[in-house]
C-alpha cells in the first residue's frame, strides 16, 4: 500500500517490484526478492535495508568546487517545520515505493537546527510527532538514529573530545535529545560516528585525556539511554580520517580495543562502512571478520569508494566481488547483531533525475542480494569451507589439539620441535580459493 500526503514527489514511479534477472525494466529488482529464503531466512530479514535520510533527502550535490545541483521541492518552504514535514512526506513516499522497511537519520536531518538548544529541542519534538504518525500509518521502522555533532562550527575541535568542557556538555545535551527522539520513534539501535573525534595536529592535543573523555562520555550516554528504557544496541562507526587528519575510531580493531578499555563492550557493537574500511587501508570483509571474531558485527553502512582515489566518495554499492566476500563473512557470522544494511551512499552530483534515487537503491539492493545468493552457494555447495578447514587440521588432533586446549607449556613446543624433524611446506592455495570465488560469481 502506498500512503501519500497531498503531494506526490516522485511522480510516475510506482511500487518497485522484484521481476527477476530476466527483466529489463530498470525500475525493478532483478535479485532482491524480499520474501525469498536464503539460508533459511527471507532476504528482507537478512538485510533490513534502510534509506539514509541525510544523503537521500538532505544532500544537494554541493562540493568544494560548486553549489548543489539537486533542487528538492521539499526544501521550498522557508518555515523549517513545514520544510521538515514535506521532507518527511518525500522520504516516506520514496521508502514505501521502494519497498524497504527502514530509515536512519541524524537529528538535524529531520528538521533544521534552531538558534538555541531549547528551540531545537522543541523543533525535534514537533517533527518527531509528525514522523511517528507517518511510521504508524506506513509500518516503516527506524533502524537507528544519531546526532550530527560534527557540522556546526562549535564542533570544529571535536564534540566529546573537545578541549573545552562547555562544548562537551553541549554535545551531551544534543545527544540526549537525539537519543530521546530515537527512543520515541522506536529506534532499534543508536549510532555514534565521531566525525571530529580525533585531531588535526598532535602538537596541540592531549591524546590520552581526549580518549578518557570519550570513554566516559559514551558510558554516560549508555547509562542515560538504558535508564530511559532503550533496549537496542549502541554502535560505533569506525572511520580513520576525514574530516580529521586522524580519528580515534580508526577501524574495527581500534574501536574494539577502546570499547574494552572503557568497559563499553557489553552495550556497544560496530556499524561498519565499506568506504571507511577502504580509507583505513582494509577491505570491508577484513573489518567484518574482525568485528565478527569479537561478536560485535552489528550493522553495515553500505556504499563503496572509487578505486582511483583515496577519499570517502560514498557511492552506491555495485561491486559484486567486493560484496560477495563481505557476504561470505556475513553468513558465516550468522548475520548482523541488531542492525541492518543502511545505504549511506549518495547520488553523483550530475545524477539529477528524480528516478536516479530509485535506480541507485535498486542497484545497491540487487548487488547485496546477488552477492548473498552467491555466498550461500559457495558455503553450501563448493569445497570452500572444507579447503579452509583443512589448512588447520593439525590443530584437530594430537599435540595441536592439546595446544588449543591450553594443555601445553612453552617447553613442550621446544620438545615437539626437536622431535618432529623437518616440516614440509604447505601451500596456502590462494589462487585456488580466488578461482573458486570467481567460478561461483
Ligand atoms: C560519515 C558517515 C556518517 C555516519 C553517521 O562518513 O558515514 O554519515 O554514518 O553520522
Ligand atoms: Co556512515
Q: Report all structural domains of the chain as residue ranges with CATH numbers, in order of start.
A: 17-22+30-381 (3.20.20.150), 385-440 (no CATH)
- Cβ of 193 closer than 6 Å to ligand 1, yes or no, is yes
Residue 301 pLDDT: 98
pLDDT along the chain (441 residues), means of 10: 66 98 98 98 98 98 95 92 98 98 98 98 98 98 99 98 98 98 98 97 98 98 98 98 98 98 98 98 98 98 93 96 98 98 98 97 98 98 98 98 98 98 97 98 96
**Beta carbons within 10 angstroms of residue 39's beta carbon:** 14
User: Mutation test of ligand 1: which of 301, 316, 346 has the most ligand atoms closer than 8 Å to its C-beta?
Assistant: 301
109 alpha carbon – ligand 2 mean position (Å): 14
Q: What is the pLDDT of residue 4?
A: 46
Ligand nearest to the CA of 150: 1
Q: Which residues are catalytic?
A: 106, 109
Residue 72's Cβ-side half-sphere holds a number of Cα atoms within 13 Å equal to 22
Say yes or no: CB of residue 107 within 6 Å of ligand 1: no
The three-state secondary structure class of 51 is strand
Q: Are 439 and 381 in contact (CB under 8 A)?
A: no
User: CA-CA distance, 433 to 438, in Å (whole number)?
Assistant: 9
**CA 271–ligand 2 middle distance (angstroms):** 8
Q: Do the beta carbons of residue 327 and residue 378 sit within 8 Å?
A: no
Q: What is the DSSP string of 353-414?
A: SHHHHHHHHHHHHHHHHHHHHHHHHHHHHSSHHHHHHHTTGGGSSHHHHHHHTT---HHHHH
Spacing, Cα 343 to ligand 2 middle (Å) = 8
Q: Is 237 in the pocket of ligand 1 (CB under 6 A)?
A: yes
pTM for the model stands at 0.97
What does R_g of the chain's alpha carbons equal in angstroms?
A: 24
pLDDT at 7: 87
State which residues have CB under 5 angstroms from ligand 2, the bound ion.
Answer: 273, 301, 344
Amino acid at each position: 500500500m502506498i500512503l501519500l500526503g497531498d503531494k506526490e514527489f516522485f511522480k510516475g514511479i510506482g511500487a518497485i517490484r522484484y521481476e527477476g534477472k530476466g527483466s529489463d525494466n530498470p525500475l525493478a529488482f532483478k535479485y532482491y526478492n524480499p520474501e525469498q529464503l536464503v539460508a533459511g531466512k527471507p532476504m528482507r530479514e537478512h538485510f533490513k535495508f534502510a534509506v539514509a535520510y541525510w544523503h537521500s533527502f538532505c544532500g544537494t550535490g554541493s562540493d568544494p568546487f560548486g553549489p548543489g545541483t539537486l533542487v528538492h521541492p521539499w526544501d521550498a518552504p522557508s518555515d523549517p517545520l513545514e520544510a521538515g514535514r514535506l521532507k518527511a512526506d518525500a522520504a516516506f513516499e520514496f521508502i514505501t515505493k521502494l519497498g524497504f522497511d527502514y530509515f536512519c537519520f541524524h537529528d538535524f536531518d529531520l528538521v533544521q537546527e534552531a538558534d538555541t538548544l531549547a528551540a531545537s529541542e522543541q523543533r525535534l519534538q514537533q517533527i518527531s510527532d509528525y514522523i511517528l504518525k507517518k511510521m504508524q500509518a506506513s509500518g516503516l521502522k527506524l533502524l537507528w538514529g544519531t546526532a550530527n555533532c560534527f557540522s556546526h562550527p562549535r564542533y570544529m575541535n571535536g564534540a566529546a573530545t573537545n578541549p573545552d568542557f562547555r562544548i562537551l556538555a553541549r554535545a551531551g545535551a544534543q545527544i540526549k535529545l537525539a537519543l530521546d527522539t530515537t527512543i520515541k520513534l522506536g529506534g532499534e539501535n543508536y549510532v555514534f560516528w565521531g566525525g571530529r573525534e580525533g585531531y588535526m595536529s598532535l602538537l596541540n592535543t592531549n591524546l590520552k585525556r581526549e580518549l578518557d573523555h570519550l570513554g566516559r562520555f559514551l558510558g554516560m550516554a549508555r547509562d542515560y539511554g538504558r535508564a530511559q528504557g532503550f533496549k537496542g544496541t549502541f554502535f560505533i562507526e569506525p572511520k580513520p580520517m576525514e574530516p580529521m587528519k586522524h580519528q580515534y575510531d580508526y577501524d574495527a580493531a581500534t574501536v574494539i580495543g577502546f570499547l574494552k578499555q572503557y568497559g563499553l563492550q557489553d552495550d556497544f557493537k560496530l556499524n561498519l562502512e565499506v568506504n571507511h574500511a577502504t580509507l583505513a587501508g582494509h577491505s570491508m570483509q577484513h573489518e567484518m571478520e574482525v568485528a565478527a571474531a569479537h561478536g560485535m558485527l552489528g550493522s553495515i553502512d553500505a556504499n563503496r569508494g572509487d578505486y582511483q582515489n583515496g577519499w570517502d566518495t560514498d557511492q552506491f554499492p555495485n561491486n559484486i566481488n567486493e560484496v560477495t566476500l563481505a557476504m561470505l563473512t556475513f553468513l558465516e557470522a550468522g548475520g548482523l547483531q541488531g542492525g541492518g544494511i543502511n545505504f549511506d551512499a549518495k547520488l553523483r552530483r550530475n545524477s539529477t533525475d528524480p528516478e536516479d534515487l530509485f535506480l541507485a537503491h535498486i542497484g545497491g539492493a540487487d548487488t547485496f542480494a546477488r552477492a548473498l545468493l552467491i555466498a550461500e552457494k559457495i558455503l553450501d555447495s563448493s569445497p570452500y569451507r572444507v579447503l579452509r578447514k583443512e589448512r588447520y587440521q593439525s590443530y584437530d588432533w594430537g599435540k595441536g589439539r592439546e595446544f588449543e586446549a591450553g594443555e601445553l607449556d612453552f617447553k613442550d613446543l621446544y620438545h615437539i620441535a626437536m622431535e618432529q624433524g623437518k616440516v614440509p611446506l604447505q601451500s596456502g592455495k590462494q589462487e585456488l580459493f580466488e578461482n573458486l570465488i570467481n567460478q561461483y560469481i
